[in-house]
Chain A
């Protein structure tokens, strides 16, 4: 079956490739909402990530402390997001500003529909993707778990499509495994679950399904012990990836003995 083949092909033990960049770690970690900058830095280290997301905001004049004092841009790839944007134009503006810092040409594009759900606006997201791809950005696009819009974003030139497991910051895990599976079957670009992850098993599930990676922030940042949770997420990501590459046994309704039948 063609569709199954396409997921099978992903079972190759290769590095994660996003545009011109290659990563060993498949966990992308956000930098928001930590109890302190020091804990954030320690958690990022503990997560083993190679990609950290950041937001773009008006600089506070006369404030000496900077996020970038705590993240070594030589060690980590910085992935600026367009969080807080509710139209394609606004997100494009933020993406252009982020690139102009000279720190990164990647952008985590998110164009949201409303403040209550923080769900993506698919129409504005597609518009912004088309423009930013034309401008040469490496676009990693946040979207819902809808397979049709995911495909359209890929067709528009997104380097990576990032469906939400559940609403941003909700910690509900992967709500619709089947949609993620359908997205994976037809995708030719990396699929990274972005948002909604609450705990380690959520990460493992995404990776076992065959996702190329997981992006999370709140699940680590607001855990009681963010540094320890970061390590849990790292191990979960590796476990899920290994399980996917190994090929799990099919589920059976009835038992099947592990030991040979008794013969004496």
Chain B
């Protein structure tokens, strides 16, 4: 299936969870927060949240700022 990860189209297998997606892209979940279709996915739900086709995933982290 096809999802959008941080604005880019990506392919991932059916049944992929958000946690699995993060692992796939080597994203440290302890330094990130995830939105699925503009809804925050709570940390404890990352492993149980299964992605669907056309989902839009946004992963944010901290960068330099004042």
Q: Is B61 an interface residue (CB 8 A)?
A: yes
Partner of B43, one of A33, A100, A217: A100
Task: Give A99 to B35 CA distance when docked, in angstroms.
Answer: 13
- B66 A218 Cβ-Cβ under 8 A: yes
Partner of B66, one of A60, A96, A216: A216
Give the chain A neighbours of B25 by CB distance below 8 A.
Answer: 61-62
Q: Is B59 an interface residue (CB 8 A)?
A: yes
- B43 A102 Cβ-Cβ under 8 A: yes
- B64 A97 Cβ-Cβ under 8 A: no
Give the chain B neighbours of A101 by CB distance below 8 A.
Answer: 30-33, 61-62
Contact with B along A21-40 (1 / 0, CB 8 A): 00000000011111000001
Partner of A58, one of B7, B28, B66: B7
- B65 A83 Cβ-Cβ under 8 A: yes
- A66 B66 Cβ-Cβ under 8 A: no
- B40 A97 Cβ-Cβ under 8 A: yes
- A96 B62 Cβ-Cβ under 8 A: no
Partner of B31, one of A40, A66, A80, A99: A66
Give the chain A neighbours of B64 by CB distance below 8 A.
Answer: 30-34, 40, 54-55, 67
Q: Is A257 an interface residue (CB 8 A)?
A: no
Q: Is A126 an interface residue (CB 8 A)?
A: no
Contact with B along A98-115 (1 / 0, CB 8 A): 111111000000000000
- A54 B63 Cβ-Cβ under 8 A: yes
Task: Give A188 to B43 CA distance when docked, in angstroms.
Answer: 35
- A56 B60 Cβ-Cβ under 8 A: yes
Q: Is B5 an interface residue (CB 8 A)?
A: yes
Task: Give A31 to B59 CA distance when docked, in angstroms.
Answer: 20
- B33 A97 Cβ-Cβ under 8 A: yes
- B62 A54 Cβ-Cβ under 8 A: yes
Task: Give A98 to B42 CA distance when docked, in angstroms.
Answer: 12
A61-B8, A61-B27 given; A68·B42 CB < 8 A: no
Task: Give A218 to B62 CA distance when docked, in angstroms.
Answer: 18
Q: List 13 A-B contacts (CB under 8 A).
A: A30-B64, A31-B63, A31-B65, A54-B65, A56-B33, A61-B8, A68-B31, A81-B65, A97-B60, A100-B34, A101-B61, A102-B30, A169-B66
Q: Which of B35, B40, B59, B65 has the most CB of A within 10 A?
A: B65
* B59 nearest in chain A by CB position: A59
Q: How far is the CB of B51 from chain A (nearest CB, A)?
A: 15
Tell me which residues from 11 to 58 in chain B have a Cβ below 8 Å from any Cβ of chain A: 25-28, 30-35, 40, 42-43, 58
Q: Which of B30, B31, B40 has the most CB of A within 10 A?
A: B31
Task: Give A57 to B62 CA distance when docked, in angstroms.
Answer: 6
Give the chain B neighbours of A100 by CB distance below 8 A.
Answer: 33-34, 40, 42-43
Q: Is A168 an interface residue (CB 8 A)?
A: yes
Q: How far is the CB of B26 from chain A (nearest CB, A)?
A: 8
Q: How far is the CB of A233 from chain B (nearest CB, A)?
A: 13
Tell me which residues from 212 to 249 in chain A have a Cβ below 8 Å from any Cβ of chain B: 215-218, 221
Task: Give A189 to B43 CA distance when docked, in angstroms.
Answer: 32
